[in-house]
């Protein structure tokens, strides 16, 4: 694998005399596969940030959360995760459909460890893993092209107080967030019917 720095990155490295350091770190840490230790870290996370870019150049950075294990390491080159109900804008999904290029940042706030995974993403509405995540709309798979850890410096240590009650779980109904009441007439038809039935006590 050849990791290429942009010309602009090289300009900054030369300005601050870090080209040698950058090349040494890249050679020691950047890889295009998911190692066993990478897989253990990814398999334990309950959140991550994902950046994407559409064909028109528009950028998006989104937070994704779930139960530990909701990001699945499929093999040494691939991860998969579910898309749950959100605000209906599908900005990440739209960008993936157009360019497929994503950058993912995993952070464990307790251990203050973080890792980046950049690669090419795809969406499958009939992915065989879909049934393993309750209420998944579709599955996103990302083929890793660059995987590398980051220094713990500047990562604030935080402890988990409570996981979101809105994460879908098998065997129980997921509550709706309060903000949906302000957009009742604009909600998807299935959600309007379900919410009306709840109000009637059906």
**What's this model's pTM, rounded to 2 decimal places?**
0.93
Domain parsing of the chain, residue ranges: 1-30, 31-150
Tens digit of pLDDT at every position of the chain (202 positions): 567 899 999 999 999 999 999 999 999 999 999 999 999 999 999 999 999 999 999 999 999 999 999 999 999 999 999 999 999 999 999 999 999 999 999 999 999 999 999 999 999 999 999 999 999 999 999 999 999 998 899 999 999 999 999 999 998 989 999 999 999 999 999 999 999 988 888 7
CATH architecture, domain defined by 31-150: Roll (2.30)
Q: Which residue intervals of 16-151 are DSSP H helices?
A: 19-29, 36-44, 91-98
CA dihedral 178→180→184→187, nearest 10 degrees, is -160
Distance, CA of 19 to CA of 139 (rounded, Å):
39
């Amino acid at each position: 694998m050849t990791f290429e720095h942009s010309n602009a990155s090289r300009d900054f490295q030369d300005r601050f005399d870090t080209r040698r350091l950058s090349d040494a770190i890249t050679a020691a840490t950047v890889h295009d596969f998911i190692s066993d230790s990478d897989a253990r870290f990814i398999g334990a996370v309950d959140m991550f940030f994902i950046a994407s870019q559409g064909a028109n150049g528009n950028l998006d950075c989104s937070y994704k959360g779930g139960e530990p294990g909701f990001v699945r390491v499929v093999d040494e080159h691939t991860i998969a995760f579910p898309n749950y109900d959100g605000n209906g804008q599908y900005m990440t999904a739209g960008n993936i459909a157009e360019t497929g290029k994503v950058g993912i940042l995993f952070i464990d706030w307790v251990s203050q460890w973080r890792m980046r995974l950049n690669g090419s993403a795809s969406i499958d509405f009939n992915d065989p893993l879909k049934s393993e995540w309750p209420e998944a709309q579709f599955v996103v798979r990302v083929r890793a092209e660059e995987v590398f850890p980051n220094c713990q410096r500047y990562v604030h240590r935080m402890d988990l107080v409570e996981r979101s009650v809105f994460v879908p779980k098998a065997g129980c109904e997921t509550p709706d967030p309060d903000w949906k009441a302000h957009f009742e007439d604009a909600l998807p038809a299935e959600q309007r019917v379900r919410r009306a039935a709840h109000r009637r006590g059906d």
